[in-house]
Structure 1
Amino acid sequence: MAHITKTPCIEDAWQAHHQELRGFLLKYCGDRDAADELLQRVYAKALADRATFCQLATPKAWLFKVAKHQWIDEKRRTKTWVDADDLDLPAEPPSHSAIDSLADCIANALPYCPPEDADILYACDLNGVKQADYAYLNGLTLPATKARLRRARIRLRERLIEQCQIIFDEQGRVCCHRGLANAT
């Protein structure tokens, strides 16, 4: 069995931040075992990258970024795919409320957004990550994050207008829409 030498810079950073990292992962996973598994992967990555890790100016930001990516990778790995031919679908699609179909439209529009737009929209608007936390985790300033989120929301709004034929009232609120149109 190979022996891994502990590196003081990693041990110090880990002792300072592992509880906060665990809380971060637990918030996203909702499961202690899954959060602990991801936490172990983050530690292993730090050990594997020890030469560059010890040169980092902000090891905490690196740890949180790796934790976020480990969580995203796990979500991608555990995604279950179902063959549509195996499903017993009704002839008529079920009717949705206007809000449900708008939520469906947003979910269908996000994959067509540029990746950086989808990332910040998923994190801040759909998953409730604070803009300051997003900025910190992605090496951005808070003003840059706010500007990026504003631009992403504008592009998503344009996409929704086109894709779902959304109409806004005088105050800029959604008044009505035609649900899911074909994605382009």
Structure 2
Amino acid sequence: MRKKAASSQTSSCIEEAWNSHHQALRYYLLALCNNRDAADEILQRVYVKALTHRAQFCQLAEPKAWLYTVAKHEWIDELRRSTPDSQSLDTATAAPLPCHIDTNLPLESLAACITKALAHCTDEDADIVGACDLNGVKQSDYAQRHGLTLPATKARLLRARKRLRETLVAQCGIVFDEQGHVCCHWAIPFTE
């Protein structure tokens, strides 16, 4: 009986993580592969690996990071399989990818996406993020202008940033590296 309960918990753990991240993961793979069938095949392999390693997967603090790491490795393996033996992986990956990867300053290429994402935020969120993060207004000055306490302003800005981040991940396909920095993104049309 305990074994069935443990198995049910690990299955629900995987399903929960998968339901939360598989769509964005698919967009990520589509951007890397530029081929729907290949992306879907890799996506299936990632899911199978999660199931295969279910006990360890459910112990992860960041299952999303694990899913993206496995997806990237599966994509690299796919490149190796499709690249002739005489060609190295470095040569194969030297061609520009459909994903907007800029190893120097990836955030610069997000300006248009951030503008579109802010347009989809509430007026309150767009105002505080625009003022404090984009225009450099000090949080204390923003609080004073809007009749808020500094802690209330900080909490409001934190919530607004979180909602903006969710919009950017969903609508712009932003992918974060292990340190939490933006590593790449791809343009996904905003839904109205």
TM range (shorter): 0.3 to 0.5
Provide the TM-score with structure 1 as the length reference: 0.47
Q: TM-score, normalised by structure 2?
A: 0.45
